[in-house]
Amino acid sequence: MKIDMRSIYTFSPVPHEGALPTGGDIYYECDCGKIVSSVSFLKAVCDCGNVTGGQGSVTVNEPARVKPLRGKLR
């Protein structure tokens, strides 16, 4: 089941240099348009497979294609 995270959260960009930030309120938006939590405990993957997560961790194959966002419940 795929959930559109934009229907649950309001997102704002997170400035960063170097490594991608992580945290309970940090999400990664892949350039394919999908959003995955930076500490996903549920199995999650973006449409192109660049961002995959589960068991509290996320793997990003190409960090240059990812934009970190801060999410707040609507």
pLDDT tens readout for residues 16-73:
999 999 999 999 999 999 999 999 999 999 999 999 999 999 999 999 999 999 999 9
Query: Which of 2 and 29 is assigned the larger pLDDT?
Result: 29
The tally of domains found in the chain comes to 1
Tokens of 7: 């229907």
H helical segments located in 1-74: none
Res. 1 pLDDT band, cuts 50 70 90: low
* Contacts (Cβ under 8 Å, ≥6 apart) of 59: 51, 52, 53
- Amino acid 3: pLDDT: 82
* Contacts (Cβ under 8 Å, ≥6 apart) of 7: none
